[in-house]
Structure formats: C-alpha cells, structure tokens
Chains A and B, each alone.
Chain A
C-alpha cells in the first residue's frame, strides 16, 4: 500500500482563500517533501521538512510535520489562480530504502 495518502483528493477554492492539504504516512521517515505538478508537466520542489523539524515556511507556503501522528500539512495562503495544480507529498524513509515515495496527490483548483 502507498506510504503517503493525501486528503482531500480535490479542492476547489476562490482566489484569495487559503488552501490546506494533508498527508499521512505509515513509517518513520528521514524527511517529507512537497511538490507541485502543473497539468502534463514535471514536478517542482516546494519544501523539504526533516523529521526533527515541526514547521517550515517559504513565501506563501507553510508546512507542518507531526511525527507522532505521522502526518504533514501544506498551507497555501492567499491563493492565486496560478496555484492551480496537483500537489504531492513524498517521503524518504529507511523502510523504503530511502527512495522517494509519493502520495496520491491533491488536485487544487483556484477560481478567479
């Protein structure tokens, strides 16, 4: 079964609103990463958070990590139409040979 599961599967919001996506995983991890993918394109790295970190910020992005609950969240504040994309969490875990294992992804649509 997949290491990472994300919810919601799809999210539709108005421009200016905040978007929150969640990711849960099963094993202990070295780090967790969030990526964005525009339709039919490659992946863009957003943020990496290590297992000993609890929160990281990058511009309008805020990522939290709760290792006790094996979960992470990605918050995009003041969303823009250009944020419309699929967002994936990915974990690097010893149990998976430290390979990058992706969650199912959340499709975000920001309406202008």
Chain B
C-alpha cells in the first residue's frame, strides 16, 4: 500500500512555543489530507481537512488560529500548533486519501502519528 510519512513521531515543547508537524504522501498525490486528534484510549476526532492550494476546512470547535494548516503541495501538509499549552498535549494523526483507486480498496492512508507533550 501507499505510504504516508508523518514527522516528528514525538515532540516535547515548552508552553507558549509553536510546533510544526509534517505529513507527506510518498506514493501518490493527495489533494486532500486530514488531521485527527486522539486522546488516550479514545477514538480519532477529525480536526480539519487540508486542501491543496486553498484554506483548510476546520471542524466545529477547532480553533483555526490555534491549529494552523498549510497544504502547499500535492504531497505535503503541515499542522502548526501555535502558542502550545499543556492541554494541547495529544496524539495527532494525519491521513491522505487516494481517489485514483491505485491501491485497491484502501482509500485512506494514515501517518504514524505524532505524540505532542507540552510542558
């Protein structure tokens, strides 16, 4: 199957600083990528849909100024957590969707996730 690479896998930052997480689709071009947040022992909650060349679409309750998303190319989307606070500590996962059908019945590929800890 296709590979979606997410970096870094772990990051610890101080309160008030910003952290950037990258999501790359390595085998296909993704006009749309998705960012999820996952709290311990809970499910994935969609935060936003990242659209190449245009503004991201945020889910209700997600602060767009807090979680900046940039999708500058067909293979790269970035999520920047600005002015991070301890409550932003979480597991963030990106996903890229392949609409070409090149990978059989697998239409969404997920990155390895990023464990963010804000101290």
Q: Which residues of A contact B (CB under 8 A)?
A: 2, 33, 35, 40-45, 47-48, 88, 99-105, 107
Q: List 9 A-B contacts (CB under 8 A).
A: A40-B115, A41-B112, A42-B110, A42-B113, A43-B93, A44-B110, A45-B109, A100-B95, A104-B42
A85 to chain B: closest CB distance in Å? 13
CA distance A80 to B96 in the complex (A): 30
Q: Which residues of B, 29-71, contact A by the 8 Å Cβ criterion? A: 34, 41-46, 49
CA distance A87 to B3 in the complex (A): 20
CA distance A43 to B1 in the complex (A): 13
Which residues of chain A come closer than 8 Å to B49, judged between CB atoms?
Answer: 99
Chain A residue at minimal CB-CB distance from B57: A97
Number of A-B residue pairs with CB-CB distance less than 8 Å in the complex they form: 49
Which residues of chain A come closer than 8 Å to B115, judged between CB atoms?
Answer: 40
B28 to chain A: closest CB distance in Å? 14
Question: A100-B108, A102-B44 known; A40 and B1 CB under 8 Å?
Answer: no
Known A43-B44, A44-B110, A100-B95; 17 more pairs at CB < 8 Å: A2-B43, A40-B113, A40-B115, A41-B112, A41-B113, A42-B6, A42-B111, A42-B112, A43-B93, A43-B95, A45-B106, A88-B43, A100-B46, A101-B46, A102-B43, A103-B43, A105-B42
Sorted from nearest, which 7 A-B pairs have the closest CB atoms?
A43-B110, A42-B112, A48-B105, A42-B110, A102-B44, A45-B106, A102-B43
Instruction: Verify B106–A40 contact, CB threshold 8 A.
Output: no
Instruction: Verify B43–A48 contact, CB threshold 8 A.
Output: no
Chain A residue at minimal CB-CB distance from B94: A42
The answer, among A2, A33, A45, for a CB contact under 8 Å with B1, is: A45
CA distance A104 to B43 in the complex (A): 5
